Structure 1
Amino acid sequence: MTEMPTVRPDEFWESRYRQSDRVWSGRPNPLLVREVTGLRPGTALDLGCGEGADAVWLASRGWRVTGADISATALDRAAAHAEQAGVGDRTAWERHELGPSFPRGEYDLVNVQYLQSPVELDQRAVLRRAAGAVAEGGTLLVVLHAGWPSWQTEPPFAYTFPTLDGVLDDLALPEGSWTVGTLEAVRRSSASPDGAEGFRDDNVWRLHRTRD
């Protein structure tokens, strides 16, 4: 097992996206669909939006979405996806490293899907800022991997995965100002790059900020 790469985060992710025409499937994350369906559309912030699948799905259901990512290439693809889907007027795209900079404003939904990185990322600080960006009456949705996939026989580098209770503690949410809607470990099927069947465990937090 090796240590995490030491390359600059912006260089790492820009290189990752430039290596292929598409990195992700273009479909929204299933746990986002599960947790958000039924919420009244409003404003949404999608942190680490990548090529924009989640943001485009939200916009197609009436949300006004700001997508933020570290990679300019990913954001260009996200904007093109939104235009092709007919929701370009409901989306905005901002480049942020989510540490040195962060989107301004408050949102009815802040979506954080798999904000985990093989290069430097202060996940605790970003999640706290994500919670701070939730408007009164709004929702914070966080989905993170809970471990390596079952077919990953040798971890590629040392990494400590977050736990359900650990993230709640890290968020340090003011008592009485938030309620928990979902706090759940989910196992889903996951195939290896060469097609071997397996599974991956994820953790889900859906938190509601109450009105003062």
Structure 2
Amino acid sequence: MSDRTAEVRLWDEMYSGAEHYWSGEANTALVEQVADLPPGRVLDLGCGEGGDALWFAGRGWQVTAVDLSPVVLGRARARCAEAGLDGRIDWREVDLAVDFPAGEFDLVSAQFLHSWGELPRERVLRRAAEAVAPGGTLLVEGHCGWPEWEGNPHPEVHFPTPQEVVDSLRLADGRWEVQVCAEHERVQAAPDGTEITRIDSTVKVRRLR
């Protein structure tokens, strides 16, 4: 089994273990950051069960939603059909470690693009910036550490600060505006049902030309 096949299998097995793994709703931070943008073309990287993609489509965006897991894409397509949004979302099976969707987009959204396996995250995010059309936006949400209930299972894993994310994008001078580069708190339910507070990060940059 190749490393990439093993990565796909890892995510397929995770999603197969529960009927619904995520809430099904759009990420709160994403809604806060993009609700005032006019609908256009959006690329949703690592779309998972499709909560963000469905939110975009319901507000008039033309969505390209990608994930490497056939299992979760099947679940997302089913939710899309149930919502009557077929035709507004192009669901694509893409392993971002080896490929990237062609085209330019008014918004590229990377929500919690972390992986337990191998993912060249910085390279993927730089490619995401390249896919932003002039006047468009790149929004990157990330975790700043492991959740309390997991402790620190992989001490070698580094969660970048917002400024480290901006620096890693290698944005050309005079062509980008950094609109948000900050940490924020988010309340999340733990597996036992209790609510805990996590620290996440937001990076929002706009391409000027």
TM-score by length of 1: 0.93
1:7 Cα deviation after fit:
8.3
Between the aligned partners of 1:167 and 1:93, the Cα distance in structure 2 is 27
TM-score by length of 2: 0.94
Superposition RMSD on alpha carbons, in Å? 1.4
Aligned residue in 1 for 2:101: 103
User: Which residue, 162, 180, 185 being the options, matches 1:182?
Assistant: 180
Give the match's secondary structure for 1:22: coil
Aligned residue in 2 for 1:3: none
Is residue 45–residue 66 contact of structure 1 (8 Å, CA) maintained in 2?
yes
Identity percentage of aligned residues: 45
Aligned residue in 2 for 1:166: 164
Between the aligned partners of 1:90 and 1:106, the Cα distance in structure 2 is 17
Aligned residue in 2 for 1:154: 151
The structure whose RCO (Cα within 8 Å, separation 6+) is larger is 1
Aligned residue in 2 for 1:197: 195
Gaps of 5+ in 1: 1-5
Between the aligned partners of 1:121 and 1:65, the Cα distance in structure 2 is 23
Q: Give runs of aligned pairs for residues 82-161 of structure 1, distance below 5 A.
A: 82-149=80-147, 151-152=148-149, 154-158=151-155, 159-161=157-159
Is residue 7–residue 119 contact of structure 1 (8 Å, CA) maintained in 2?
no
CA 153–8 in structure 1, closer or farther in 2 if over 3 Å, else same: closer
CA 87–7 in structure 1, closer or farther in 2 if over 3 Å, else same: closer
Give the match's secondary structure for 1:93: strand
1:183 Cα deviation after fit:
1.3
Give the match's secondary structure for 1:152: helix
Give the match's secondary structure for 2:189: coil
- 1:48-77, CA deviations, whole angstroms, 9 ceiling, x for partnerless residues? 000111000001001000000010111111
Is residue 192–residue 198 contact of structure 1 (8 Å, CA) maintained in 2?
yes
Q: Which aligned runs of 4 or more in structure 1 are off by greater than 2 angstroms?
A: 151-154
Between the aligned partners of 2:191 and 2:167, the Cα distance in structure 1 is 35
Gaps of 5+ in 2: none
User: Which residue, 52, 56, 59 being the options, matches 1:58?
Assistant: 56
Question: Residue 48 of structure 1 aligns to which amino acid in structure 2?
Answer: G
Between the aligned partners of 1:15 and 1:198, the Cα distance in structure 2 is 26
